[in-house]
Copies of this chain bind each other. A is one copy, B any other.
Amino acid sequence: MLDACLDPEMASEITLQPVRRHGVDAAIFFSDIVVPLKAAGVDVEIKPGVGPVVAQPFEAKADLERLPGPAEGMFDAIAAGVARTVTELGSTPLIGFAGAPFTVASYLIEGGPSRDLPKTKAMMLRDPALFGALLERLGELAAAFLRTQVLAGASAIQLFDSWVGALPARLYAQHVAPHTADVFAAIADVGVPGIHFGVGANHLAPQMADVGCDVLGVDFRVELTDVDQHIRARMPLQGNLDPTVLLTDVATIEAEVRRVLESGRGLRGHIFNLGHGVLPDTDADMVTAAVHAVARYGQPFEEAT
């Protein structure tokens, strides 16, 4: 999996397949949260049925010293993969991809996927200086990783803070938001829109909307109309069809797509998407059905005046 992400031909082909098959309006560059770590030389692999597993979990200051920052040539394979993809895509835009510092740190500290992130939270509270230094380093890697993708032709970027919903707003604001904001600030000069997304993180929406992103992604647990009104008035939202809907039938999918589209009507802008990743058991034809329903019932984007 990680080898595929770092193989320009393979990453490009996998990125293009859903565009060819489903006719979506944009592609997202095929990658994984831990790809910048792999590119930086960290011993990490994706174990089937488990997820990313780190050989030597991050525990102490010495681990920070052996975690490289971004370096010349580190993301050359990514640049080549993006360039190749953009050429093939033609007028279809490509969205760049990266994991936010907190979520990448959680894999490094836990050593693998974890529901409650106990070691990550413990380090945050017991050694905030080390935790902050780790997030700073990971933020630099994320920014370089995203910059590479934009310079190679990506038209927008999305920063995934997948597991940040495990934090209450207080801890997020203090220990995480500044580092996420640094990532958006570091790539502000490249001038593409930035989307920010977390899972089960609606209680953090006001803070997440404030890190310098242009669009906030919303997961499937809440309605777009339930998102804080100040956010809705200020920026477009992305989301949020429940991926489980793709496990049903075409009629249900059409009804649910319409419901989501209608919930996005009064917004400042709405990018239709799932509210989380496609589930493993999904029939690809049901993804096509959802894309067709969006084309049929959606309204073309009009620039806000």
Q: Which residues of A contact B (CB under 8 A)?
A: 113, 115-116, 118-119, 121-122, 124-126, 165-168, 171, 200, 202-203, 220-223, 226, 242, 244-245, 247-248, 252, 276, 279-281
Residues A168 and B222 in contact, CB atoms below 8 Å apart: yes
List chain B residues, Cβ under 8 A from A276. 116
Closest to A113 in B: B115
Q: Which residues of B contact A245 (CB under 8 A)?
A: 125
8 nearest A-B residue pairs (beta carbon): A121-B244, A118-B279, A122-B247, A125-B248, A200-B200, A203-B222, A125-B247, A203-B221
Q: Are A171 and B244 in contact, CB atoms less than 8 angstroms apart?
A: yes
Beta-carbon contact of B220 and A122 below 8 Å: no
A168 x B247 contact (CB < 8 A): no
Determine which of B115, B124, B247 lies in contact with A244 in the assembled complex, contact meaning CB atoms within 8 Å: B124
CB distance from A229 to the nearest CB of B (A): 15
- CB pair B200–A165 under 8 Å, yes or no, is yes
Interface centre among A118, A124, A171, A202 (most CB of B within 10 A): A118
Interface centre among A115, A121, A244 (most CB of B within 10 A): A244
Give the chain B neighbours of A200 by CB distance below 8 A.
165, 200
A166 to B275, CA, bound (A): 12
Q: Which of A124, A126, A247 has the most CB of B within 10 A?
A: A247
Residue picked from A121, A220, A226, most chain B C-beta under 10 Å: A121
Nearest to A172 among chain B residues (CB) is B221
How many Å lie between the Cα of A281 and that of B280 in the bound state? 33
CA gap between A139 and B251 in the complex, in Å: 31
Contacting pair B244 A280 (CB below 8 A): no
A11 to chain B, nearest CB (A): 24
Cβ contacts under 8 Å, A281 to chain B: 118-119, 122
Complex-state Cα separation, A244 to B174, whole angstroms: 14
A125: which B residues are within 8 A, CB to CB?
244-245, 247-248, 252
A167 shortest CB reach to chain B, Å: 8
Tell me, rounded to whole Å, the shortest Cβ–Cβ distance linking A46 to chain B: 15
Given A113-B115, A126-B247, A202-B203, A121:B220 Cβ within 8 A: no
- The closest CB in chain B to the CB of A204 belongs to B221
Besides A118-B281, A122-B279, A122-B281, 17 new A-B residue pairs in contact (Cβ under 8 A), listed by A number: A115-B115, A116-B276, A118-B279, A119-B281, A122-B244, A122-B247, A124-B244, A125-B245, A125-B248, A126-B247, A126-B248, A165-B200, A166-B221, A171-B242, A200-B200, A202-B203, A203-B226
How far apart sit A183 and B171, CA to CA, in the bound complex (Å)? Answer: 36
Between-chain CB contacts (< 8 Å), 21 pairs: A115-B115, A116-B276, A118-B244, A118-B279, A118-B280, A119-B281, A121-B247, A122-B247, A122-B281, A125-B245, A125-B248, A126-B247, A126-B248, A165-B200, A166-B221, A168-B220, A168-B221, A168-B222, A168-B223, A171-B242, A203-B221
